[in-house]
Amino acid sequence: MSPRNPFRPTFGASPHHWAGRQTILDDFREGIADGPGDPHRSLIISGARGIGKTVLLTELEDIAAEAGWIVLRATGREDTVDVLVDSTIPEKIRQLDPPATRALTGVGVTGLGRIEVDRIAEDKPAPTLTSRMRELLSLLRGAGVLITVDEVQDADPDALSALANGYQDLVRDDEEVALVMAGLSHGVGQLLDLPGTTFLRRARRYELGPLTDTDAAVTLRETAESGGLPFVERAVPAAVDIARGYPYLVQLVGYLAFRTAARDGSSAISRSAVEAIREEAVETMGVQVHHPSLKGLPPAQLNYLQAMSDLVFDVGDDAAAVSTSEIAAELGKTPNATTDTRGKLLERGLIDAAGWGRVAFTLPYMANFLRGGGRINRIS
């Protein structure tokens, strides 16, 4: 039987061997221990697609859970606050304090009991995030509650300000609460500019960048070894080179190389097994990351990226920084006429400023993908 592949190139799937991000984990652990008001209890994590936001949220949730906290997970893709108020928090309350143990009038007279309970509920003011949270906290005897919100870039601005206000009330009253939000850099930036979210602007912000080569190497080495099929030492730098510190690629490169070696019946992952999967890794990155990142991009922005990728290709280095005036020239425009487009691409996190008058692609292999016409050529 071939060994089980220990790599996890799947969005949202926590890696078997964690790489980097140590400062955030340590700060948060301290924040939880230090008590109400600690600044490391309110975090905002942003970064490009596949950089590791969701798995970092999971890791932070684990830290809170280890400290005996309750974790409430929400996402910006649904009615964030309504779901918390109407189902997530009541569900936790029911788990901690089952209705059967509450002294209800009319218990035993099923029909009548139901009517009485309903009537009481009608007279009460509608629950809010703050009131629900207070109810939950009162059952916890000193333990805290962590709320995490993933995909905040998709959140409804009103829901986000309701969340910010509710959370602010709890913090002001020294309740044991923490809030961690994660999303794409562009969307997070926009949401924090909204008038209703002033409070969130004071949260600690972490912009996730690539992993260091050392961290990537350690993760590749340890993960493969734990699966019973280690990298030969010479193969590690080759894998690190393909992965470019991008966490999704670290998992993908490891996964594909491990699979190749296992299919060949090898006892280790050789350098040639790694080289053999380079192309497939880059293509899969196109399907999973580049293609969705470019979806719905206005033509002017796409043209800008195309021109940029031509110049990057001339340099021969996918990560090269190119001059913005050369991009403008390539497009047959004056530099001024492209400023607006460049700004939008920077905001979207598709390109980064790389020194004065220069830009580079944020995601590895983007230039490569655009050179292929920005289409998915082959789905393997």
Ligand X SMILES: Nc1ncnc2c1ncn2[C@@H]1O[C@H](COP(=O)(O)OP(=O)(O)OP(=O)(O)O)[C@@H](O)[C@H]1O
Residues that bind Mg ion (CB under 5 A): 53-54
Q: Does 15 bind ligand X (CB under 6 A)?
A: yes
Nearer to ligand X, 75 or 131 (CB): 75
Count Cβ neighbours within 10 Å for each residue of 49-83 and write b for 16 or more, e otherwise: bbbbbbbbbbbbbebbeeeebbbbebbbeeebbeb
Report the partner that residue 328 touches, choosing among ligand X, Mg ion, none (CB closer than 5 to 8 A by kind): none
Q: If residue 283 lies in a helix (H) or strand (E), which one and from where to where? A: helix 278-285
Q: Which is it for the CA torsion 202, 174, 155, 44, positive or negative?
A: positive
Residues in 181-220 that interact with ligand X by CB under 6 A: 184, 219
Nearer to Mg ion, 153 or 197 (CB): 153
Report the partner that residue 313 touches, choosing among ligand X, Mg ion, none (CB closer than 5 to 8 A by kind): none
Nearer to Mg ion, 53 or 342 (CB): 53
Nearer to Mg ion, 50 or 230 (CB): 50
C-alpha angle 244/355/344, rounded to 5°?
80
For β-strands 358-361 and 322-323, DSSP reports them as antiparallel
CB of 179 to ligand X, least distance (A): 18
Ramachandran angles phi, psi of 352, nearest 5°: -120, 150
Choosing from 42, 88, 251, 260, the residue that interacts with ligand X (CB under 6 A) is 251
Report the partner that residue 49 touches, choosing among ligand X, Mg ion, none (CB closer than 5 to 8 A by kind): ligand X
Q: How far apart are CA 324 and CA 149, in angstroms?
A: 36
Stretch that binds ligand X, among 78-86, 246-254, 262-270, 296-304 (CB under 6 A): 246-254
Show Cβ contacts of residue 371 under 8 Å, excluding neighbours closer than 6 positions: 309, 310, 313
Nearer to Mg ion, 149 or 327 (CB): 149
CB of 9 to ligand X, least distance (A): 5
Stretch that binds ligand X, among 16-24, 106-114, 124-132, 161-169 (CB under 6 A): 16-24
Choosing from 69, 167, 199, 248, the residue that interacts with ligand X (CB under 6 A) is 248
**Residue 149 DSSP label:** E
Of 362, 361, 369, which is closest to residue 185 (Cα–Cα)?
362
Q: What is the DSSP string of 5-60?
A: P----STTPPPSS--S-HHHHHHHHHHHHH-TT-GGGEEEEEESTTSSHHHHHHHH
Nearer to ligand X, 11 or 313 (CB): 11
Report the partner that residue 64 touches, choosing among ligand X, Mg ion, none (CB closer than 5 to 8 A by kind): none
Q: Does 11 bind ligand X (CB under 6 A)?
A: yes
Stretch that binds ligand X, among 63-71, 135-143, 244-252, 309-317 (CB under 6 A): 244-252
Nearer to ligand X, 77 or 202 (CB): 77
Mask 23-62, x = binds ligand X (CB under 6 A)?
------------------------x-xxxxxxx-------
Tokens of 24: 């955030």
Q: Does 22 bind ligand X (CB under 6 A)?
A: no
Stretch that binds ligand X, among 18-26, 86-94, 293-301, 354-362 (CB under 6 A): 18-26
Q: Does 76 bind ligand X (CB under 6 A)?
A: no
Choosing from 8, 92, 290, 348, the residue that interacts with ligand X (CB under 6 A) is 8
Query: E strands along the chain, which residues?
Result: 42-47, 70-75, 145-150, 177-184, 204-208, 322-323, 351-353, 358-361
In the numeric block, the tokens 């962590």 are attached to 146
Nearer to Mg ion, 54 or 197 (CB): 54
Of 220, 215, 214, which is closest to residue 6 (Cα–Cα)?
220
Q: How far apart are CA 10 and CA 317, in angstroms?
A: 27
Tokens of 68: 């005996």
User: Half-sphere exposure of residue 40, counting CA atoms within 13 Å on the CB side?
Assistant: 16
Interface with ligand X by CB under 6 A: which residues?
Answer: 8-15, 18-21, 47, 49-55, 184, 219, 247-248, 250-251
